[in-house]
């Protein structure tokens, strides 16, 4: 069965790159969101198998969205997407319960490794 993925990033180009990488690997992108608030609502509606979540976004940060999604579904699998200079936020995200993280600009192999690792160890 194809795994369902939701992409959350305020930058359309990042979502496009992630969509291309993940669909090429056989994952189905079921939603794309630009804000943390939108991500929380869509997650509750669709319950995807995986979420890629940017840390820095308007309205509601990735950390806040991570917290809300995990409150709703403690089993949620979430990969944080972050810029290199956001180490403290990244540490907080992992402590809050993020499954893994990818640093921008990311390499295709790292994205694939993070996603495969989540599905192989936690499914």
Q: Which CATH class is domain 4-122?
A: alpha beta
Instruction: Pull the structure tokens for residue 58.
Output: 């308007």
Q: For residue 123, what pLDDT band results from cuts at 50, 70 and 90?
A: very low
| Verdict on whether the full-model pTM lies above 0.75 | yes
**Helices (DSSP H) in 6-107: which residue ranges?**
12-24, 36-46, 62-72, 87-96
Which among 43, 32, 34, 49 is positioned nearest to 66, based on CA atoms?
Answer: 43
For 30, counting Cβ atoms within 10 Å of its Cβ (0-12 exposed, 13-18 middle, 19+ buried), the class is middle
Query: pLDDT averaged over the chain?
Result: 92
pLDDT of residue 90: 86
């Amino acid at each position: 069965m194809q795994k369902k993925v939701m992409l959350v990033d305020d930058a359309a180009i990042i979502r496009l790159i992630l969509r291309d990488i993940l669909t090429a690997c056989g994952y189905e992108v079921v939603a794309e969101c630009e804000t943390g608030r939108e991500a929380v609502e869509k997650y509750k509606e669709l319950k995807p198998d995986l979420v890629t979540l940017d840390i820095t976004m308007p309205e509601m940060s990735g950390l806040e969205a991570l917290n809300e999604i995990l409150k709703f579904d403690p089993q949620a699998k979430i990969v944080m997407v972050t810029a290199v200079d956001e180490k403290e936020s990244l540490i907080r995200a992992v402590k809050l319960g993020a499954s893994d993280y990818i640093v921008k600009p990311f390499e295709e192999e790292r994205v694939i490794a993070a996603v495969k690792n989540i599905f192989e160890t936690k499914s």
